[in-house]
Amino acid sequence: MNAASPLASRRTVGRAVASILSVAAVIGLLALVFPVATGTSWPAVYDRLLHLSVWQLGVLSVVWLAGLYAHTFVIVGALPRLTHRQAFALNFCGSAVSNLVPFGGALGMGLNYSMMRSWGFNRTNFAVLAVVTHACTVAVKLLLPAVALGALVLTTDFMNTRLVIAAAVGIAIAILATLLLTAAAVSTRFRNGLSWTVEALGRGLGHRAVAAVREASIAVGAGVRAAAREGWRRMTLGAITYAGFQALLLYLCFVALGGQVNPVVVFAGYAIGRTLSIVPITPGGIGVSETATAAVLIGLGADRPLTAAAVLLNSTFTFLLEIPVGAAAAIAWWLGHGRVAAPSPAGA
């Protein structure tokens, strides 16, 4: 135990330093980089935000919630025995932790795991859900820029030979990568190769450990294959609808603030911001996503103060509001199902 204490202390110090650096990055991006990138000032942004009405905020809230409901189809598609209400709770609680804590994705997954165990699901169910939903989310985020570039080429004045070629190549690569990942997930050869790799890497751990890990990997692989085969329509529809509602929310933020911006241009800014949110530099990608989105929109001709205000208003819904709502959902779960239940026969 004493030997492990220095290691635990070093890990704690490392996490604390990473958290401090991440928070500093958020402050630096929003306080310094964001105003420079948008070429505006905070008083100008505040002035635009103060003119919002209650009914406008209500409409934006409805669109935000509609997008989150659409995302529950991705979760339920990966694990059909989950209800949409449970999927809502998993989404809110996981996002709240991830948005609040630097590098909080692991903590959010830990909370989601506890919630699923309390509902009677087992470890394999959770692993399948995590693999499938994360793969679906990343695939959509990688596809968005290519689709946005293609839309710009077809519907705006930015058409030229280089953009057409770049859009075609980008869309082709994104589709090919998605198809390869899907084929790998449902391939028996892939699962057998994964099992062999696990066995080869874990020979020093002993036969029992290797067998346990191999069995777990086979079970998860079979679950991923079943989810991809049976739920791909629901997950695809949910992921596309969710992205559409999020892009619509950003566009309506411009409308609510009195601006007229081409919807395709707004979608391009949204696409770049969502893709960069994959990089876990800050909690939930805050600061990085906003700066990139604003820079793209301004580069495509959007008004600077309007863009800064609209992007920050959008992040109020997609980032800040998820923290208190997710905290309330976590408290409600804890009061009703706080004790982890044994997996039910259906969950097994």
Q: How many Cα atoms are found within 13 Å in the side-chain-facing hemisphere of 244?
A: 9
What pTM value is reported for the model? 0.76
Dist CA 55 CA 103 (whole Å): 35
Select from 64, 97, 19, 72 the least CA-distant residue to 331: 97
Reduced DSSP (H G I as helix, E B as strand, rest coil) percent helix, strand, coil of the chain, to 5? 80, 0, 20
CB atoms within 10 A of CB 224: 22
Select from 94, 76, 77, 74 the least CA-distant residue to 85: 76
What tokens appear for 236 in the block?
């695809």
Dist CA 227 CA 125 (whole Å): 11
Name the residue with tokens 């990473």: 18
What tokens appear for 75 in the block?
């979760």
**Mean pLDDT across 93-100:** 78
The amino acid occupying position 176 is: L
Would the pLDDT of 60 be above 50? yes
Q: Which residues contact 34 (CB under 8 A, 6 or more apart)?
A: 287, 290, 291, 294, 308
Name the residue with tokens 């057409």: 164
The amino acid occupying position 193 is: G
**Mean pLDDT across 32-60:** 81
Query: Which of 94-98, 185-189, 336-340 is the most confident on average?
Result: 94-98
* Whether 129 contacts 75, CB under 8 Å: yes
Which pLDDT score is estimated for 63?
A: 96
Would the pLDDT of 73 be above 90? yes
Query: Which of 27-41, 93-107, 139-153, 307-321 is the most confident on average?
Result: 307-321
pLDDT tens readout for residues 216-259: 666 676 777 777 778 888 898 999 999 999 999 999 999 999 88
The amino acid occupying position 279 is: V
What percent of the chain is predicted at pLDDT more than 70?
Answer: 63
Which pLDDT score is estimated for 343?
A: 43
* Whether 51 contacts 58, CB under 8 Å: no
Dist CA 348 CA 342 (whole Å): 10
**Mean pLDDT across 280-292:** 67
Report residue 339's pLDDT band, with 50, 70 and 90 as the boundaries: very low
Name the residue with tokens 């399948």: 128
Which pLDDT score is estimated for 272?
A: 83
Report residue 56's pLDDT band, with 50, 70 and 90 as the boundaries: very high
Name the residue with tokens 């692993």: 127
Would the pLDDT of 18 be above 50? yes
